Structure 1
Amino acid sequence: MEHNTLQGIIFDLDGTLLDSTGMWGQVDHKLMAYYGREVPPDLSERVQRMSIEEFSHFFVEEFSLPTTPERIAKQVSDMVAEEYRELLPLKPHAMELLDWLDGQNIVYGVATATYGELAAAALKRLGVWERLQFLITEQDAGAPKSQPQIFQQAAQKLHLGRRQIAVAEDSLYALQTAKRAGFFTVGVYDNASQPVWPEICATATVHVQNLLEMKPVLRGV
C-alpha cells in the first residue's frame, strides 16, 4: 500500500471489535448437549470457517440430528441473542481507536459473519452504530468470508478502492481471503485465535496485540 493512501477500514465484529469469541466457542457444545451427542475434539476448528447457513446444515447432516437447518439456525440465534443485546462488551481500546479514526477522517464499517439484527443491537447498545458507514453480513453478501464478495461489497459501501482500505480481522481464513483480494490486512489478536497466531502474523500485512496498537501502524501506512 502506498504511503498515506489509507482512507477506510473494514472491521470484523466478533473477536476484533467485540469481545465475543468465548461465547461463540460454547454454542456448538451447547447444541451437541441439547441433542445428546458427544463433542468431537476438533469440532470448534471444523465449524470456525462456516457461515451460519453452512454451520446449520453441517450439524444436521454430520450428526444426523432430528431437526432442520432452519431450526438449528433459530436455536443458535436464541442462544446468543441476550449476549448481543445486553452483555457483550467491546474489545479493550476499541472506542479509543474509533475516536482516533474519526479525528483522522478515516471512515469505517463492519463486515460480519453473525446475525445482522444481533450485530446491530450490540453496536447500538455500545454507542458504535452511529459512527459506522455500513454493516454488512455474510447473508447480505451472499457468500462467507472464505470468499471475497463481502470485502468487495464493503469497499463499495466505503466508496474507496481496495488500496485505500485496511481489513482488520482476528480470523486467519478471513485474513487470507482479504489478502488474496488485494487488501491491506491487519491481524488482531484474540484469545480464541491464539493457536493460529503465528500463521496470522505470517499472513497479515501487519499484526497487533490490541486495537490501540493500530494507531501507530495506520499512521505509517
Structure 2
Amino acid sequence: MLENKEAVIFDLDGTITDSMWVWADIDRTFFEQRKIPMPPTLNKEIEGMSFTETAEYFIRTFQLPETVEELKDIWNRIALDKYAHETPLKPGAGEILKYLKEHHIKTGIATSNSRLLLDVFLKERDLEPYIDAVTTSCDVNKGKPEPDVYLKTAEKLQVKPEHCLVFEDIPMGILAGKRAGMQVCAIEDDYSIHLTAEKKALADYYITDFRQVLDHTYEDLRK
C-alpha cells in the first residue's frame, strides 16, 4: 500500500481518532435544548461539509439566530475538552505515524473539523512532531466530497497527488481523495459501519486497524 508513496494524508474524525460519538452527543443535546426535532437524515445531509458549511447549513435549515462564527464558537467550546482528553487514537494510529516518520514519508491531516479542535487533539497527544501539514475544509473553497482539502494538503507537502495515500472513514471523504487523484484506504469506524459496502466500493483498500498496513494484512479492493 505504501509502495511509491511520498506522503500519507489522514482525515481526523473517525480515522485517526474515535470521535464521531462526540458530534452525535452534541447534536442530540443541541436539538433537545432548542426543542427542535432532530432530522433522521441529518448525518447524511452534513457528511463531508466543512465546519463553516455545517454552521451555515444549521442556521439556514433550522432558522437559528446565531451567526456562523457564534455557532462555531458554541460547538468548539462544547467539544474542546472532549478532543483534549476523551477521543482516543484509533488502533494502530500511533504505530503508523511513528513508522512514517522513521521512513521519511511525509504526513498531513485534511479535516472537515475546526482548526482549534485539531490543534488541541494533536498537542495533548504529543502528535505534532509526526504531522508535516494540516488543512481544514474551511481553508479551501469547498468541503468534501470536493478534492480541495486534499489537493491543498498535497501542495503544502510538495508532493504530487498520485504519490499520496489517503486514509478516510466516510464515503464523502473517500470520494474527495479519489477526486484528488490519490489512492484511498477506507478505515472501519462504528459510526459508519452501516456504510461498509459503499466505502469498499469507492476505496482502493480497507482496514480495521492501522497495523494492517504495516503487516500487509489489509484488504486490497483493486483486485
Tell me if both proteins adopt one fold, taking TM over 0.5 as the criterion: yes
2:186 touches 2:205 (CA, 8 Å); kept in 1? yes
* CA shift for structure 1 position 154: 0.8
Aligned AA (1:15): G
* CA shift for structure 1 position 212: 1.2
CA distance in 1, matches of 2:134, 2:65: 34
* CA shift for structure 1 position 8: 0.9
Equivalent residue number for residue 92 of structure 1: 91
Q: Identity across aligned pairs (percent)?
A: 27
* CA shift for structure 1 position 128: 0.9
Where does the alignment leave 5 or more consecutive residues of structure 2 unmatched? Answer: none
Equivalent residue number for residue 146 of structure 2: 147
CA distance in 1, matches of 2:180, 2:39: 33
* CA shift for structure 1 position 42: 1.6
How many residues align? The count is 218
CA distance in 1, matches of 2:180, 2:141: 17
Within the alignment, does 1:7 sit opposite 2:6 as a pair? yes
* CA shift for structure 1 position 43: 1.8
Equivalent residue number for residue 60 of structure 1: 59
Equivalent residue number for residue 33 of structure 1: 32
1:9 touches 1:165 (CA, 8 Å); kept in 2? yes
Where does the alignment leave 5 or more consecutive residues of structure 1 unmatched? Answer: none
Q: Deviations over 1:34-90 (max 9, x none)?
A: 211111222222222322222112222212233333322221111101111232221
Q: Deviations over 1:154-203 (max 9, x none)?
A: 11122111121101111211111211221111111111111111111111
CA distance in 2, matches of 1:136, 1:104: 23
Q: Deviations over 1:85-135 (max 9, x none)?
A: 232221121111112222322111111111112211111111211111111
* CA shift for structure 1 position 217: 6.7
1:124 touches 1:130 (CA, 8 Å); kept in 2? no
Equivalent residue number for residue 126 of structure 1: 125
Equivalent residue number for residue 178 of structure 1: 177
Equivalent residue number for residue 17 of structure 1: 16
CA distance in 2, matches of 1:61, 1:117: 24
2:146 touches 2:179 (CA, 8 Å); kept in 1? no
CA distance in 1, matches of 2:48, 2:148: 15
1:8 touches 1:165 (CA, 8 Å); kept in 2? yes
CA distance in 1, matches of 2:166, 2:49: 19
Query: Which SS does the other structure have where 2:116 is aligned?
Result: helix
Equivalent residue number for residue 195 of structure 1: 194
